Amino acid sequence: MHDSLDFQSALGQRLVALGQITLDHPVNIDAHPIKTYSRKAMKHAFITPEDHHGKAIRTFYTQDQASQQPLIALAAYSGTTVSQVTHRLAPLTRAILGRDFLLVADKEWYGGQLIQELHAQYGVSVLTPVKSSPKGSVTDSCAMTSVTERPSCR
């Protein structure tokens, strides 16, 4: 596993050196579940209602927002928390970029303690969706053109 992280880090640093990653743009972070082959192959009748939506693996990754180029990805057990993985992804992403960065996350990452820890430990600022109306709708229409700018949200 360590070799794959070294490879991903070297590849990400190469993309930065070639100018394919824009250093002054935010970095997206996200996670996606992956069904295992055995679950796909099982007959529907053998899967219990509780297991029907269960996932065995989740991939977590960061990507350059401007170019949509991936920076680094980790595979984890579906029970792994966002906080656990983010504490691994943040320093790896920072090492690739060679600087502090703004992380754009969805509501899954919205946790005051996690946001404070990321900033204090790794120099990472986090932009998460916020409520845009009293009715509770959530917006993800924040636009930023550089890490030094304030977000412009509608």
Q: Terminus-to-terminus CA distance in the chain, angstroms?
A: 42
Candidates 3.30.1490, 2.30.29, 3.30.70, 3.30.420; correct CATH number of 2-153? Answer: 3.30.420
Q: What is the mean pLDDT of each run of 10 residues along the chain (154 residues)?
A: 86 93 88 68 54 68 91 86 86 92 80 82 81 54 42 44
The answer to whether residues 26 and 151 touch, using CB atoms and an 8 Å cutoff, is no
The pTM is what? Answer: 0.69
* Segments making up each domain of the chain, as ranges: 2-153
Other beta carbons within 10 Å of 44: 6
The answer to whether residues 139 and 154 touch, using CB atoms and an 8 Å cutoff, is yes
The answer to whether residues 90 and 117 touch, using CB atoms and an 8 Å cutoff, is no
Per the structure block, which two tokens stand in for 108?
């899954």
The answer to whether residues 146 and 26 touch, using CB atoms and an 8 Å cutoff, is no
> Which residue has tokens 């917006």?
139
